[in-house]
Amino acid sequence: MSQPPFHLAFPVHDLEAARKFYGEVLGCPEGRSSAAWIDFDFRGHQIVAHLAPRQVEPPTTKVDSHDVPARHFGLILAWDEWEALVARLRDQGVAFLIEPAIRFKGLPGEQAMCFVRDPSGNALEFKAFRDPAELFVR
């Protein structure tokens, strides 16, 4: 069964900075755009950067020993794709909000994860599961 693509709109304070980060750094093809927004192909999903003033920093929650932004989005990738993205982010000089790490090592649900921020401060999480069938393991 194929999954339908999701749509996510989010605020940015600078469209050109968003275009560079999502288009060049993350490699997301650009779709339609206007003076107020840009569509990006986020691995088959439509994300839309909308021009908006800076917003108040969202709250964080404790996950393991990290302060995770309560509002974030991202992708779950294949393990090798996650490793390649981490290398790409490092090569592009992107600072990690939460450094790449492995959670639940050797346990059900073992996963690689990292967090970055876009130029407008939106938090993105990228993760991979050692066994993709364990995405919702308890």
Write the DSSP assignment of 41-96 as a string of letters: EETTEEEEEEE----PPPPEEEETTEEEESSEEEEEE-HHHHHHHHHHHHHTTPPE
Contact 98, 114 (CB under 8 A): yes
CATH of domain 60-134: 3.10.180.10
Give pLDDT tens digits for 103-126: 999 999 999 999 999 999 999 999
Q: pLDDT value at position 56?
A: 63
3-state secondary structure of 15: helix
Contact 106, 61 (CB under 8 A): no
Give pLDDT tens digits for 74-107: 999 999 999 999 999 999 999 999 999 999 999 9
Domain ranges of the chain: 7-51, 60-134
Name the architecture of domain 7-51.
2-Layer Sandwich (3.30)
Give pLDDT tens digits for 22-77: 999 999 999 999 999 999 999 999 999 999 977 767 778 888 888 888 889 999 99
Q: How confident is the model at residue 138 (pLDDT cuts 50, 70, 90)?
A: confident
pTM: predicted TM-score of the whole model, two decimal places: 0.90
